[in-house]
With several copies, the nearest count.
Chain A
Amino acid sequence: MDAEQSYQVRLEIFEGPLDLLLFLIKKKKIDIQDIPIALITREYLDYLSRKDRINLDREAEFLLMAALLIYIKSQMLLPREQLLVPEEEPRKELTDRLMDYQTIKAVVQVLREKEDEQMQVWKRSALTSPLPDEDLDLIEVSLFDLAESFFTMMKRRQGQDIKVIKGKEVTMAEKMNEIVNVLKERHYLDFLEYLGQQETLEEALIAFFCLLELIKARLVIAIQEQLFHTIKVWLRKEAHGKATHG
């Protein structure tokens, strides 16, 4: 690999499989209307095998495209009695998609330029007006605002309701048994979701302490995959038998 190529590669952060395909097509100077599928598939797979060069968050999408390319290739290898009309050509859909995506990329470029221009221009958003402006706070109301407004309101309400402690008495032992049973049935538990399902704040607190106890006793394992994300709880394998008597 020459120096220029590796330099180029480092610069590229592909936004998606189409972005990568367009890059390869350009690099190989291929006519988008007449894509040599075998060649492009090989190039594409080659790239995927060097995974550090694509955005790993969307690996599935890149793999899906690989599958599509292989599918098209296999379709084209099938023996046919007569030539296909252009619309039935398996490459047609790929070409259409690429063309469509190319347009979008051009639009992105135009909008980015316009955004740059507008960044330097300042308008006034707040003005001193002779009328009370309490009714002026919403510029655009969409259906989304309406629905969001409702569900946010409900969330707020739920937050208040949980403070009401109802009379139901739950012991630590009962709760612990319940948790273990749920884990046996469902294999894992979403920590926040489970706490959210508790009827009262008191019960949620008890459940919380029970989980802490179970973790301490090494009966369950709790994993947080990412900071601020929910915590998942699994039953440890060796604990299956023991926990039955919990």
Chain B
Amino acid sequence: MAEKLKEIIESMIFISVEPLTPEKMKEVLQDVPEQDVAQAVQDLVGAYAASEGAIRIIQTAGGYVFSTKPEFDPYVRRLLQIERKSKLSHQALETLSAIAYHQPVTLPEISAIRVCDSTYALHSLLEKKLIKIVGRKEAPGRPLLYRTTDKFLVYFGLNSLEDLPKEEELKKLMEEENA
């Protein structure tokens, strides 16, 4: 094991979500002398620091963790922003499902269905053009009515709203889970 000690520690730091502490390392590498582990960690950190690569190992919160070098921050940020935009959050998904099954529907109605204020989620769905405003409801305050768009159909690979799974179909599948 000794000759691979540096790499073993590398794999452990890589996979840890929290900074990997020397105590944790010790738990896994029980038979390895403490000073050997300490030396291997130092070698590893040094090797990454000396390399030309974009990642390094930093010591923080009493442990070790991989991080990108600061100079790559702009690219990382740009990437994360793009990834963020292209995904639906749980909030958005729940709001979208409420609209899909109840359309046309108003914001207060959606919030009532979800038992949760849905203003933010609604805006993000409008921005993504998955829903649209189709008019106002003849009700006190004349709230705006929302419907799903054609983009919604394309996003979920539907031909029409008729294609949405029916309650019975879903129920059958969900019951299997509890069986």
**In their complex, do chains A and B touch, with some C-beta pair under 8 Å?**
yes
Using CB atoms and an 8 Å cutoff, list the residues of chain A in contact with chain B.
Answer: 15-18, 26, 58, 61, 64-65, 97, 100-112, 114-115, 117-131, 134-153, 156-157, 160, 229
Task: Report A-chain residues with C-beta under 8 Å of the C-beta of B11.
Answer: 122
Task: Note all chain B residues with C-beta closer than 8 A to A140.
Answer: 129, 132, 149-151
B85: Cβ under 8 A from any A Cβ? yes
In the complex, the answer to whether A143 meets B157 with C-beta atoms within 8 Å is yes
Which residues of B are interface residues toward A (Cβ below 8 A)? Answer: 11, 14-15, 17-18, 58, 65-70, 72-73, 76-77, 80-81, 83-85, 87-91, 93-94, 96-98, 100-101, 113-117, 126, 129, 132-135, 149-151, 154-158, 164-165, 167, 170-171, 173-174, 177-179
Residues B113 and A107 in contact, CB atoms below 8 Å apart: no
Q: Is there contact, CB below 8 Å, between A107 and B87?
A: no
B18 A139 Cβ-Cβ under 8 A: yes
Quick check: B97 and A26 within 8 Å, CB to CB? no
Hey, which chain B residues are within 8 Å of A134, CB to CB? 89
Q: Helix, strand, loop or mixed for chain B's interface?
A: helix
B133's partner among A120, A144, A152 (CB-CB below 8 A) is A144
The interface residues of chain B lying within 8 Å CB-to-CB of A103 are 101, 167, 170, 174
Known: A61-B117, A127-B17. A136 touches B97 (CB 8 A): no
Complexed CA–CA distance, A225 and B11 (Å)? 49
Q: Which of A26, A112, A129, A157 has the most CB of B within 10 A?
A: A129
Total A-B pairs in contact (CB under 8 Å)?
Answer: 213
Structural contact, B76 and A148, CB atoms closer than 8 A:
no
Closest-by-CB residue of A relative to B170 is A106
Q: Are A131 and B84 in contact (CB under 8 A)?
A: yes
Question: Smallest Cβ distance from A106 to chain B, in angstroms?
Answer: 4
The chain B residue with its CB closest to the CB of A141 is B88
Q: How far is the CA of A124 from the CA of B80 in the complex (A)?
A: 12
> Which residue of the partner chain, among B18, B88, B132, B174, contacts A115 with CB atoms under 8 Å?
B88
- Shortest B170–chain A CB gap in Å is 4
Contacts of A107 in B (CB 8 A): 97, 100-101, 164-165, 170
| CB atoms of A121 and B115 under 8 A apart | no
How close is A193's CB to chain B, nearest CB, in angstroms? 11
B172 to A: closest C-beta gap in Å? 9
Q: A97-B115, A103-B170, A123-B67 are contacts. A143–B164 as well, Cβ < 8 Å? A: yes
A115 near B115 with CB under 8 A, answer no
Do residues A115 and B156 form an inter-chain contact, with CB atoms below 8 A? yes
Q: Of all chain B residues, which has the CB nearest A113? A: B156
Closest CB of chain A to B14's CB: distance in Å?
7
Report which of B90, B101, B113, B165 forms a contact with A143, defined as CB distance below 8 A. Answer: B165
- A26 partner residues in chain B, CB cutoff 8 A: 178
